[in-house]
């Protein structure tokens, strides 16, 4: 995953995104989210991806979440949006861990012009859009962002932002308001173009990995839970419920990412830990093959530099050393003849049978009796003929601040519908066929729409080793510009 997939540390002159929606009808909106895999990936690239991610997760901001990836490659999820009048196409990373929408601007210093992903990048030019306008520092938006008037602000000075990520990457720029174009849901599996005004960051300078062209995109579309996120801003304006869900199909490819009230299927939930900016939950016990592991209570405590985080932007799952050792002992208890070997720093072994038949299910138990079942084909991944590697990672190999964190990534969240209900501060999931559909409710009209899984990898012009596409359904109950 691109290095930008993380929640930023906000500098004193830093940011917020306010999505201002003007409208003619209330209807769900859709972003088609594509997955792109860089060439020459593999286990080493995957681990490097998670390592870069943890560099930010464990920095001063300590706020994780981001894109997604598979264990055999470093994956990157992005959506295609259109900005401006006339509209131009931009590829932005869908990031559940950061809070603003920003794109690289025409005057940007160190903004990549090419992408190793094979994408045609576009620099946003506010002067080339008839609907674009800069946000000045004396406007209400800017004062709300900084909770007061900025020192030295005078008329027509731009409202600037600066974001520093934990690994040293950074982006700075200024806010503009312009038209955003997306697909709007009008019925069961039906869409039509929709538009909304959005205030977003115009990136003027990128530092660190954000200036790299290796996995470059045009920007980031943040879906964090802070008040500065697009979701929070829409909810504050009464346009949407603060609820979203994802369902990632690693069997057939495809999936769904929806914002709105998911009414089918129903999921059981567990509370989010209060006053945590990331998705922390209370883990209470772990079973392997139905037997509860005898672990000390402190491994389940939540606090600074410890606890359990649900992070669909991390690919693997990271366990504190004691937990990792106990889980691995129980998993391989009936296979003591297996010989392990190191493959790109992964613990791998040879096995010719079905892993689901030969190894136990691991179950994580959370507060309010919510269970997460992780099957052998989910915590193991193939890495050659009859070679399997362990997707769980020993926290002792992580940076010091991450050694005691249980970080549950995409590997164990796939093939499940995961619902983030920020209205009620709960998160839940259920095993689900992610190639099927879900139903979401438009709370303004009362209508319920079927949202289908999409997989547009067939005929896609990029070189994908495995394609996975998400449909991002955004229920925009506001004033649409028609």
Per-residue pLDDT tens over the stretch 166-204: 456 788 999 999 988 776 667 787 777 767 778 899 999
What distance in Å separates the CA atoms of residue 166 and residue 453, rounded to the nearest whole number? 34
Q: In what order do the strands lie in the sheet with 317-319?
A: 280-281, 307-310, 405-408, 317-319, 392-394
Pairing of strands 307-310, 405-408: parallel
- What is the pLDDT, as a whole number, of residue 67? 29
* Alpha-carbon distances, residue 471 vs 217, 245, 281 (angstroms): 19, 11, 26
DSSP single-letter state for residue 306: B
By annotation, the residues acting in catalysis are 95, 311
What distance in Å separates the CA atoms of residue 317 and residue 4, rounded to the nearest whole number? 20
Dihedral over alpha carbons 165, 313, 368, 443 (to 10 degrees): 90
Which is nearest to 477 in space by CA: 79, 99, 16, 22?
A: 22
DSSP bridge pairs for 303: 306
What distance in Å separates the CA atoms of residue 63 and residue 405, rounded to the nearest whole number? 13
Q: Mark the ranges of the chain whose per-residue pLDDT is less than 70.
A: 1-77, 96-98, 164-168, 183-185, 194, 210-214, 237, 252-254, 313, 399-400, 454-482
Q: In what order do the strands lie in the sheet with 362-366?
A: 291-292, 283-288, 362-366, 370-374
What distance in Å separates the CA atoms of residue 478 and residue 448, rounded to the nearest whole number? 17
Which is nearest to 197 in space by CA: 17, 18, 16, 21?
A: 21
Pair of tokens at residue 333 = 């208890």
Pairing of strands 101-109, 190-207: parallel
Q: Are 173 and 161 in contact (CB under 8 A)?
A: yes
- What is the pLDDT, as a whole number, of residue 129? 98
Pairing of strands 101-109, 160-164: unpaired
Pair of tokens at residue 406 = 């249980």
- What is the pLDDT, as a whole number, of residue 168? 60
Q: For 225-270, write each residue's pLDDT tens digit.
A: 777 777 777 777 677 788 888 887 777 666 787 878 899 999 999 9
Phi, psi of 218 (to 5 degrees): -80, -20
Q: Are 262 and 242 in contact (CB under 8 A)?
A: no
Domains of the chain: 9-38+75-263+436-476 (2.40.70.10), 266-416 (2.40.70.10)
What distance in Å separates the CA atoms of residue 90 and residue 477, rounded to the nearest whole number? 24
For the entire predicted model, the pTM comes to: 0.76
Q: Are 233 and 223 in contact (CB under 8 A)?
A: no
Pair of tokens at residue 202 = 């115009």
Q: Are 32 and 211 in contact (CB under 8 A)?
A: no
What distance in Å separates the CA atoms of residue 170 and residue 162, rounded to the nearest whole number? 7
- What is the pLDDT, as a whole number, of residue 44? 56
End-to-end Cα separation, the chain, in angstroms? 36
Pair of tokens at residue 48 = 């490097």
What distance in Å separates the CA atoms of residue 330 and residue 320, rounded to the nearest whole number? 16
């Amino acid at each position: 995953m691109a290095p930008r997939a993380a929640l930023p540390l906000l500098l004193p002159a830093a940011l917020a995104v306010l999505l201002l929606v003007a409208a003619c009808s209330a209807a769900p909106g859709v972003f088609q989210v594509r997955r792109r895999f860089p060439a020459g990936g593999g286990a080493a690239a995957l681990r490097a991806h998670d390592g870069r991610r943890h560099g930010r997760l464990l920095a001063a901001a300590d706020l994780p979440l981001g894109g997604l990836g598979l264990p055999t490659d470093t994956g990157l999820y992005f959506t295609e949006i259109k900005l401006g009048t006339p509209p131009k196409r931009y590829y932005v990373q869908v990031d559940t861990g950061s809070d603003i929408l920003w794109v690289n601007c025409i005057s940007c210093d160190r903004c990549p012009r090419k992408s190793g992903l094979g994408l045609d990048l576009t620099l946003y030019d506010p002067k080339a859009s008839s609907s674009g306008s800069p946000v000045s520092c004396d406007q209400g938006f800017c004062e709300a962002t900084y909770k007061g008037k900025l020192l030295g602000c005078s008329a027509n000075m731009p409202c600037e932002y600066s974001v520093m990520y934990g690994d040293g990457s950074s982006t700075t720029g200024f806010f503009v308001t312009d038209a955003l174009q997306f697909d709007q849901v009008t019925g069961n599996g039906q869409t039509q173009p929709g538009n909304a005004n959005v205030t977003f960051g115009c990136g003027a300078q990128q530092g660190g990995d954000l200036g790299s062209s290796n996995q470059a995109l045009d920007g980031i579309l943040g879906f964090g839970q802070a008040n500065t996120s697009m979701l929070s801003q829409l909810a504050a304006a009464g346009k949407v419920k603060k609820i979203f869900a994802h369902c990632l199909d690693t069997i057939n490819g495809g999936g769904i990412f929806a914002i709105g009230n998911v009414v089918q299927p129903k999921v059981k939930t567990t509370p989010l830990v209060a006053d945590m900016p990331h998705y922390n939950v209370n883990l209470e016990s772990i079973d392997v093959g139905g037997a509860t592991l005898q672990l000390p209570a402190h491994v389940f405590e939540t606090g600074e530099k410890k606890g359990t985080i649900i992070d669909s932007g991390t690919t693997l799952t990271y366990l504190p050393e004691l937990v990792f050792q106990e889980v691995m002992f129980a998993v391989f208890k009936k296979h003591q003849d297996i010989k392990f070997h190191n493959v790109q720093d992964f613990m791998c072994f040879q096995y010719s049978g079905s892993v689901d038949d030969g190894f136990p299910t691991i179950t994580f138990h959370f507060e309010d009796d919510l269970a997460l079942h992780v099957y052998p084909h989910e915590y193991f991944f193939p890495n050659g003929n009859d070679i399997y590697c362990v997707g769980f990672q020993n926290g002792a190999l992580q940076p010091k601040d991450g050694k005691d964190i249980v970080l549950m990534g995409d590997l164990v969240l796939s093939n499940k519908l995961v619902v983030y209900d920020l209205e009620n501060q709960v998160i839940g999931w259920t095993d689900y066929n992610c190639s099927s559909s879900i139903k979401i409710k438009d709370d303004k009209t009362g209508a319920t729409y079927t949202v289908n899984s999409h997989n547009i990898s067939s005929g896609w012009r990029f070189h994908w080793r495995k394609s996975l596409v998400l449909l991002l359904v955004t229920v925009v109950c506001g004033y649409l510009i028609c």
